[in-house]
Amino acid sequence: MKKKKNNIKKILIILIVLVIIIIAGILLYKFFFNKQQEEVKVIKSIPKYGYNLNENETQLYKDTFDELDKILSRDKVDYDEYAKCISKLFIIDFYTLSNKISKNDIGGTEFIKESMRDNFIEEARNTFYRYIEVKSDNRNQELPTVSEITNVEVENASFTYADKTTDDDAYKVTISWDYKEDLGYETEANMILVKEENKLYIVEMD
């Protein structure tokens, strides 16, 4: 009987230790994850349009964000320049993976039309962002960083939505870019942007 009680006591102790280890693991993970999230702080905003600049963005992105701020601060907004600027910001943010926290940290999403954003994020997470490891001091992945926008052109266009309605006040942007190191990623794209309540959104890219 004494031996049986000792065995039960040992099992209880083992279970308690396991529970403590699991709880400690969860707390450590949450602390580490939240710490990473807290590291990305907003350092500048354009409140009227809802654009934010995070501190972990590249210098190229920060300089281009300043360009956008100037464009949108004018009494009369030049929408061709506006379209060019957010296209540049999108490309710099989306195709720069070196500063991303994980595969869930998708760049450029604030420039995508809201009704299309969830699908865009899911597609990016399962393709271009799929193999990004969680950022840490010892991440050794070779990840791309956009170094320069080499060309950007804009022209008037139209866009047809899934419900067959057409927006004739759209913009087609042709853009190309370079990386700090050539790792074989895309270097050019065509995008369609539409205007909604004076704000431009990307609705198509190929």
Q: How far apart are CA 99 and CA 36, in angstroms?
A: 12
How large is the average pLDDT for residues 41-57? Answer: 94
Do the beta carbons of residue 152 and residue 142 sit within 8 Å? no
At residue 27, the pLDDT reads 60
pLDDT digits (tens, 9 = 90+) for 174-199: 999 999 999 999 999 999 999 999 99
pLDDT given at position 36: 47
For residue range 85-122, list pLDDT tens digits in order.
999 999 999 999 999 999 999 999 999 999 999 999 99
Contacts of 133 (CB under 8 A, 6+ apart): 102, 139, 141
Reference 91, options 12, 189, 22; nearest CA is: 189
- Convert the pLDDT of each residue in 134-158 to its tens digit: 887 678 899 999 999 999 999 999 9
Across the chain, mean pLDDT equals 89
Q: Can you point out the beta strands (E) in the chain?
A: 42-46, 51-54, 146-160, 166-179, 188-196, 199-205
Predicted TM-score of the model (pTM): 0.80
Q: What is the reported pLDDT for 38?
A: 46
pLDDT above 90 as % of the chain: 73
DSSP string, 48-91: TTTEEEETTS-HHHHHHHHHHHHHHHSSS--HHHHHHHHHHHHH
Burial class (CB in 10 A: 0-12, 13-18, 19+), 194: buried
